[in-house]
Structure 1
Amino acid sequence: MEKELSLYLKEITKSFNKENLKIFSANDIANKINLSRSTVSSYLNKEVKEGNIIKVKEYPVIFLDKEVFINNYFKIKLNEYESLEDLFRENNGLSSKDSLSGVIGAKGSLKEQIEQVKTAVLYPKNGLPIMLLGPSGSGKTFLAKCIYDYCIQEKLLTNKSPFISLNCAQYYNNPELLSSELFGYVKGAFTGADKDKKGLLESADGGVLFLDEVHRLTDEGQEKLFTFMDSGEFSPVGDNSVKKSSKVRLIFATTESIQSTFLPTFIRRLPVVVSIPSFSERPNQEKLSLIDSFFLKESEILDKSIKVSSQVISFLLSSNFEGNVGKIKNIIKYSCGSGYTRSKKNDYINVKITDLPIECESRIKDVLGYQFSSRYQDRTYDYKYPELLDISRSEDKNIANTYFQFIEEYKELEKGSISSEQYINKMKNNVNMLLDNLVFNSNSSKNQSLFSIISFTIRHAFKYMEENYGIKQDGNKILSIASLLYYKEEHEILINHPDWNSLRPKLLAFINMHMENSVWLSKMMLKNLGEQLDYDFLDEDLIFISFYLNSTNMQKIRSGINSIILAHGYSTASSMANVANRLLKRNLFQAIDMPIDTKIEDIENKVIDFIENNSIENGLILLVDMGSLSDLCNKLKDKIRGPLLLIDYVSTPIVLEVGSLLLQAKNIDEIYEEVLNGVNIERKIVYPTIRKKKAILTCCYTGMGSAVQIHDILEKSLNREREEITIIPYDYNKLMKNKKRELPFQIYDVISIIGTENPQIDGVNYIGLEHLIGGEEIDGFISILKENFDVDSDKLKKDLVFNFSTKKIIENLTILDANKILSSIEQAVDRLEKLLDMKLSNNRRFLLYLHTSCMVERILRKEDVDPQEDIEDFMEKEKRKVDIVKYSLSDIEKEYTIEISDLEIRLICDIIFN
């Protein structure tokens, strides 16, 4: 058996490449040579420990014959690697392990934080000071140690460089002692100081000093510390005439608010503030990875495999403890100890819900009462074979395979092996095959209570889509998406694919180009779902749902106008509807056939029945072959919920003309004016008599993108009023062209339009986005709302100011502190206005804030801007303006130790003067 396995692994290792990783997994190898997975895994891991096999631990975990690999590819030193990237880094003479990239969450919830840290560490001249901000037990001390290890790996420090850690909280009642610990003291500085003593700053020279709970520093201590940060010099306690120097990388940590705890002068010296999420804020997959790592460590300490019940896993994943990750770790340690005590003579340890500490009792009842346990399976931990924790449930494997195909097939598309159309069709087919499998062929039993909650939430989301965008509910779609979310849970799958990060922007751009409406609909639906489920959906979910909705023909955002043909005769109406639908290649018309002696009351009842069972908010067209049109209008106006167009004439030509106008996305008013223009037929529009719901429209002259963003910010700010008001992103060009004839004005009482350009609609308040950002129109907007319903003015104003603030809009900066950079830019722009003797509009000032902050971060990252062929001519022609701009930005250059290039100056000039 071992010989057969060894020979097979040697053979496949000869053909190793990044395109066929799956064949190197324990599961695939076991299938190929007809052995059990556990047997193959046991042998492979034994050979890894003996140095004969290479193990790469990212998903899927793969194994390679070491001798064959070295002979065919390149020399390596280790037997185990965290990722393929680490393996190939060694070929380039780089450190094979990156301590920061190996942190759980480095590719997920901590991705931006790790990027911030790496930028700070690699910054020239001893790096930048780092402040770690997060609740107690979230892993700040662990991350500080990883930063130190990373400095060594990048050859910024040596193995002999010191790492000194101090918890300032232990000196809370004795700030003088804390100061002497940091800066040292001279003999006679205070009672008991009988000799000179080095401080930690001096002891940490050439290394890292980590100050935990640094908010315990007094104002005086903060001042002395930031003086050292500026000059690199400090004085020991007791003799300010002595000046000592030290080259130390500083890492701080606090659990408190930075703005309210530290001196502004100290905060200004903190260019990098890294927020660490609590355990409860981490995605479930990261929580599970942390739990796995703790149980594996206990397995190694106790030298036994550990079997953990699904109830324990559910409890740990669903708990929210003070102490966070540290508390979870201690609970696991206690539980394993309890299980070990009960089963000393067994080969393995059983950990059950009864092994949890007694302090968890009340929380256990809450979690188990929620019936989440069946979402997770029992798990077995063995430090000798950690890959046994890999995906085991068939549903999980199928989901992972389908998501991976998005990447693998896109690589084929990039190589030219398949066309865009072939790629789209193949992915739609894969998506539907997976959903069919989850719905009809799943062998796993569902937690029906949980599945019902998810299904109900999705139904609610579809109802929202129906009410706002005319997308009808569909039981099959609801069941399919519910099954996907149930089995996928909150796992991030593509983060494990080696090409995901590089291909993600390309793939998102591709689906936006080829399935724009599907993507837009998916975003709207997932946003609504995310609010209901309290979950942030991932880009990979957006891609999946977009392909699915595209495959169900929901990709077209239809006008949503229903059309009915009513005609006397056995099949007169049906025949005309059938002919028109086939010729127009769209199912636009429905038919109601009526006996010759049908009364108007019968027609009224049939139409009312249709109205009650269909969404007609976007409009209803009735083509009838009888008189008494006025009577029918009067009887229906109290029943309808949207505009009703009645045409007292039916023939195949007029049906085709109405259908053609519907295909052109004409609204009810346009169809009323254009249908059989010049022909003497009776037609009439009736609007609902019921009180219209209030609405705000958002628009942007460049397209729907900004309109949707404005919509999202307003939704967030007006959350408490959402039942009373509807916010609708709408096409600016349609508003500009058709004014109040557009559909929202027929269905809603539009009280305001907010956008980037005024569509000039009489009687409707318009507020420009730049005025909301600048704050000038916030009071006016609140006044409009107060005219229509009761609002908490102070709270709403606060929410609007915050959500529309420049700081909020640029808060995605990863290196810079938003408050600090905005303050610097504000001073620069003020100086600019004074020197140029001009007053910038709020809109232009906003653009300068946004562009300049991103520019500084771009320069710090050493990223280039596109070249400009006429740059020399411009700099010479506009020399005076250029000099003023350069001088105005000079303080920013000094503050961040950067040099702003002529290309960057040109871009800023374009914003100011164009």
Structure 2
Amino acid sequence: MAIDISNYLKEATKEFSKDNIKEFSANSIAEKVELSRSTVSSYLNKEVKQGRIIKIKEYPVIFLYKETFSKLYFTPTQAEYNTLDELWKENSNVRKTDIWSNVIGAKGSLKEQIEQIKTAVLYPENGLPIMLLGSSGSGKTYLAKCIYDYCLEEKLINPKSSFISLNCAQYYHNPELLSSLLFGYTKGAFTGADKDKKGLLESADGGVLFLDEVHRLTEEGQEKLFTFMDSNEYSPIGDNSIKKEAKVRLIFATTESIQSTFLPTFIRRLPVIVNIPSFAERPQQEKIHLIDSFFLKESEILKHTIKVTKQVISFLLFSNYEGNVGKIKNIVKYSCGSSYAKRKDQEIIKVRIGDLPIGNENQLKESLYHQISSRYQDRIYDYLHPELLNINSDEEKNIKKTYFEFVEGFKQVESGEIMFDHYTKEMVKNVNLLLDELTFNTEVTNNQSFFSVLTFNIKSTFKYMEENYGFEQDGNKILSIAYLLYFKEEQEILINHPDWNSIRPKIINFIESYMKNILWLSRRMLTHLSERLDFQVLDEDLIFISFYLKSMNIQSLKNEIKSIVLAHGYSTASSMANVANRMLRKNFFQAIDMPIDTTIDHIEEKILDFIDNNSTENGLILLVDMGSLFDLRNRLEKKIKGPLLLIDFVSTPLVLEIGSMLLQDKNIIEINDQILKNVQINKQLVYPVEKKKKAILTCCYTGMGSAIQIQDILQKSLKHEDPSFVIMSYDYHKLYQNKQKELPFQMYDVLAIVGTVDPKVEGIPYIGLDHLIGGEDIDSFINILRCNFNIDEEQLKKDLVFNFSIKKIIEKLTILDVNKVLNFVQDAVDKMEEKLGLKMSNNKRFLLYLHASCMVERILRKEDVDMQEDIKEFVQREKRKIDIIRYAFSEIEKEYTIKISDLEIRLIFDIVLSD
């Protein structure tokens, strides 16, 4: 049925015009294929969602086959349009990107080259001559034809203008004939010239002339050509008194070195030299796309579905052919033809190793034996359904389904069907379901060696993330990512989704706005892994990993102060950093070793590269051996993301002293105040030169976990998108002890502190969480915001009350039943209140509900709390009250089969009995 409808609409769309619109309605199509209207309508709408069919929603609603329409007119960017006029209006906007969007590598290895080409083509008057430089078979002729199509598209040349191509190598031994072909000749110019004949320059007048292998031109030929490039004038062979004029856009191509092959005078007239990468230099993803495009083309020519074994794919990917892309294309054509000749009566043509045109079988086996990437699955090419390429395993189908849901879900957000919060939860769930499925329900049956390589490198990446960003690793995380990369095979899945290009930047912006720390960590993780495995970081994988990290509460990762030791000498900085890191047993210090003659520009470049690749919002300490701190300050203060502490005369004792302070979790202001007070050193504490952002701080007496939850709920309630305003969680005890000496007050204009206990910071309004929940301080909070932002007060009040409800916060739990655990916690709190003879405030009850529920899940997850040095003395001193608390929570211990430690009991004690 699907084939009948698809084939019918594919052929019918060829005859589409404004005069026969009704023939493309669901009713009309149903009649033609002899199926019910409901069946046809259901199928058509499903295909619209998959991007294979275009839907125009005016009356009557009509459907067009996208592939056919694109070949006849232009490629639409949407699957649905309200009217035909809306579709046609898109033509002028879409066409300008069609030519280059179809070039494999346009957004990758050829991105810069295409920009060069566009610059040359769009240059006023007649454009600029273009030289395409690349090895044989790298695609120079194909690009030259694209340049001609681009000129037509941009209406730079007449539609009837010619594209003329000449391979100069064919006339290498007859330069006179080559010159006569280019410039034409007059009667009697040479033996056999019995009449005047025009040359290619005249034939290409107003169009494009492509001269391949142009290095075969003699010096005389080059001189004649650059004379024409200067004046647009030339003389036919045989009569220099005749001056002809032509406007021709020139494209040259060569496989040879420009400098050693051409006259300097010719080179000077080549302002645009475009280097084309070879097949071997292309990223793996582009190689796969090229191979796929060749097999799809053969499928279309042979009118058969083609199945290609993974051994053939692997061999084509990694064999080193001098003929490059062109050679690969010919091998694909031969192998398909060979298989077709043997199996033309079969529905599916199967291309195997034996179909390759390789004479030396031992060489082939040897090559295949060494190809670690034989992990690639068999691939299926169907010219009727090119978008279904290689989706022939459950693993691949599940991966595609999950990746497509990123786009489909975000479209629901845009249409107002779901909220951002719901979208995030659904994507996190989908990502984890996929990884669980791949990890626990699949088996690697091919190429265990490659899977081992994957696992080893992912483990190294997780170790790097742990050392530098506190990202804890475990076996399940490593295996999950290994299975994903193994089965995904570096494929760019979402490139086949019709809405991917328009939705992609929106999803990235969403993650950056709402999960900034996570997006940054995802980039670091994938970049580090890609460097080890030599694969391209794709935006679709960045989105996947971001949602994966979101499920692990990555926002609670500690953003530590970063430190660099920068010294002159072969290994001076490295030695000091290594000694300090080993003695401190923590990787605090990075090293930059510099030659003696290093310039300040080079030093600045190294530091900025570090800042770009590391989170430095909490501070960067730069320890240098010599140099002007003043110069560095002036260069960096407008480029840093957080405070910068510059210290001169670096030494190993100085590095160790700073490391010991970092171990004590001191902030950068404390380090600046306390560092080696009795030793004369030069130092400067520099803050970013920019207008301070406004901020609201959140804190909780019991720790950062609850502070982060309060931060999340405030962000959801305020729905702010103002980049000059942030809500950030911070350690209560630091605020209480150091007041405005803490970093947020130096970096931000702090409007208020929202928390569970007042840290008593003078001059900063405090809003108690219990008063926000009860409504007493909502007006005060709104007044603070109103002075700085435009807000919908009534809506904000509703959102605050809703989002700060106990149930909403407890929903943060991921493995426990919310209502069940909350009932047990409530009983425990009632027992404590009775046995201790206390009457607890709503604020304390709220804190206990929140803390105890999270505690149960934390214990089940085997997550530890911070050690307390005086815990033994505390247990002895407060034995009676501790026994009461333990009794109150005994039912929870039985129900969940857990043991609540003395450390956890101490935290509950602090909440219950604190003032």
TM-score category (smaller protein):
0.5 to 0.7
Q: Check whether the contact 2:53–2:65 (CA below 8 A) recurs between aligned residues.
A: no
- Deviation digits for residues 875-903 of structure 1, max 9, x if unmatched? xxxxxxxxxxxxxxxxxxxxxxxxxxxxx
Q: Cα 1:535–1:747, aligned 2, differ >3 Å: closer, same or farther?
A: farther
CA distance in 1 between counterparts of 2:328 and 2:520 reads 40
- 2:239 matches 1:329: no
Partner of 2:319: 319
Partner of 1:369: 369
Q: Cα 1:288–1:706, aligned 2, differ >3 Å: closer, same or farther?
A: closer
- 2:643 matches 1:733: yes
Partner of 1:352: 352
Q: Which residue identity does 1:463 align to in structure 2?
A: K
2:60 to 55, 63, 71: 71
Identical-pair percentage = 59
Partner of 2:483: 483
Q: Check whether the contact 2:54–2:66 (CA below 8 A) recurs between aligned residues.
A: no
- CA shift, 1:296, in A, is 4.1
- CA shift, 1:323, in A, is 0.8
Q: Cα 1:492–1:744, aligned 2, differ >3 Å: closer, same or farther?
A: farther
- CA shift, 1:179, in A, is 2.9
- Deviation digits for residues 306-358 of structure 1, max 9, x if unmatched? 44333222222232311112212222233234334434665554432122223
Q: Cα 1:272–1:533, aligned 2, differ >3 Å: closer, same or farther?
A: same
- Deviation digits for residues 644-684 of structure 1, max 9, x if unmatched? 89xxxxxxxxxxxxxxxxxxxxx99xxxxxxxxxxxxxxxx
Q: Map 1:479-628; keep pairs closer than 5 Å.
A: 479-556=479-556, 558=558
Q: Which residue identity does 2:321 align to in structure 1?
A: F
Structure 2 residue matching 1:85: 3-state secondary structure: coil
- CA shift, 1:159, in A, is 5.3
Q: Cα 1:423–1:339, aligned 2, differ >3 Å: closer, same or farther?
A: closer
- CA shift, 1:136, in A, is 0.9
CA distance in 2 between counterparts of 1:252 and 1:542 reads 39
CA distance in 2 between counterparts of 1:4 and 1:238 reads 64
Q: Cα 1:296–1:433, aligned 2, differ >3 Å: closer, same or farther?
A: closer
CA distance in 2 between counterparts of 1:447 and 1:348 reads 26
Partner of 1:171: 171
Partner of 1:229: 229
- CA shift, 1:210, in A, is 0.7
Partner of 2:76: 84
Q: Cα 1:551–1:174, aligned 2, differ >3 Å: closer, same or farther?
A: same
CA distance in 2 between counterparts of 1:475 and 1:3 reads 46
CA distance in 1 between counterparts of 2:518 and 2:606 reads 16
CA distance in 1 between counterparts of 2:286 and 2:593 reads 40
- 2:631 matches 1:707: no
Partner of 2:52: 62
Q: Check whether the contact 1:431–1:547 (CA below 8 A) recurs between aligned residues.
A: yes
Q: Map 1:175-214; keep pairs closer than 5 Å.
A: 175-190=175-190, 193=193, 195-214=195-214
TM-score, length-scaled by structure 1: 0.54
Structure 2 residue matching 1:495: 3-state secondary structure: helix
Runs (5+) with no aligned partner, structure 1? 14-23, 30-39, 48-52, 562-616, 620-636, 646-666, 669-691, 713-728, 749-758, 767-914
- CA shift, 1:557, in A, is 5.0
Partner of 1:661: none
Partner of 1:133: 133
Q: Check whether the contact 2:494–2:540 (CA below 8 A) recurs between aligned residues.
A: yes
- Deviation digits for residues 488-511 of structure 1, max 9, x if unmatched? 221123333344434444443443
Q: Which residue identity does 1:205 align to in structure 2?
A: D
Moved more, 337-346 or 327-336: 337-346
- CA shift, 1:201, in A, is 0.8
- The RMSD of aligned alpha carbons is 5.3
- Deviation digits for residues 417-465 of structure 1, max 9, x if unmatched? 6655555444333332322222123377453221111000111222333
Q: Which residue identity does 2:583 align to in structure 1?
A: G
TM-score, length-scaled by structure 2: 0.54
Structure 1 residue matching 2:582: 3-state secondary structure: coil
- CA shift, 1:399, in A, is 2.4
Q: Check whether the contact 1:57–1:81 (CA below 8 A) recurs between aligned residues.
A: no
Structure 2 residue matching 1:131: 3-state secondary structure: strand
Structure 1 residue matching 2:274: 3-state secondary structure: strand
Q: Check whether the contact 2:647–2:681 (CA below 8 A) recurs between aligned residues.
A: no
CA distance in 2 between counterparts of 1:245 and 1:638 reads 75
CA distance in 2 between counterparts of 1:484 and 1:79 reads 35
Q: Map 1:274-423; keep pairs closer than 5 Å.
A: 274-302=274-302, 304-343=304-343, 346=346, 348-359=348-359, 361-370=361-370, 375-383=375-383, 386=386, 389=389, 391-413=391-413, 421-423=421-423
CA distance in 2 between counterparts of 1:450 and 1:467 reads 26
Moved more, 112-121 or 197-206: 112-121
Partner of 2:584: 643
Q: Cα 1:521–1:744, aligned 2, differ >3 Å: closer, same or farther?
A: farther
Structure 2 residue matching 1:735: 3-state secondary structure: strand
Q: Check whether the contact 2:373–2:450 (CA below 8 A) recurs between aligned residues.
A: no
- CA shift, 1:229, in A, is 2.4
Q: Which residue identity does 2:645 align to in structure 1?
A: L
Q: Which residue identity does 1:707 align to in structure 2?
A: F
Q: Which residue identity does 2:89 align to in structure 1?
A: N
Q: Cα 1:270–1:94, aligned 2, differ >3 Å: closer, same or farther?
A: farther
Q: Check whether the contact 1:58–1:84 (CA below 8 A) recurs between aligned residues.
A: no
Structure 2 residue matching 1:313: 3-state secondary structure: helix
- CA shift, 1:478, in A, is 1.2
CA distance in 2 between counterparts of 1:545 and 1:535 reads 15
**Which protein, 1 or 2, shows the higher relative CO under an 8 Å CA cutoff with sep ≥ 6?**
1
- 2:455 matches 1:455: yes
Q: Cα 1:701–1:320, aligned 2, differ >3 Å: closer, same or farther?
A: closer
Q: Cα 1:404–1:449, aligned 2, differ >3 Å: closer, same or farther?
A: same
Q: Check whether the contact 2:284–2:535 (CA below 8 A) recurs between aligned residues.
A: no
Q: Which residue identity does 1:342 align to in structure 2?
A: K
CA distance in 1 between counterparts of 2:426 and 2:337 reads 51
CA distance in 1 between counterparts of 2:144 and 2:129 reads 12
Structure 2 residue matching 1:84: 3-state secondary structure: coil
CA distance in 1 between counterparts of 2:9 and 2:176 reads 65
Report how many aligned residue pairs link the two structures: 589
CA distance in 1 between counterparts of 2:257 and 2:656 reads 48
- Deviation digits for residues 838-870 of structure 1, max 9, x if unmatched? xxxxxxxxxxxxxxxxxxxxxxxxxxxxxxxxx
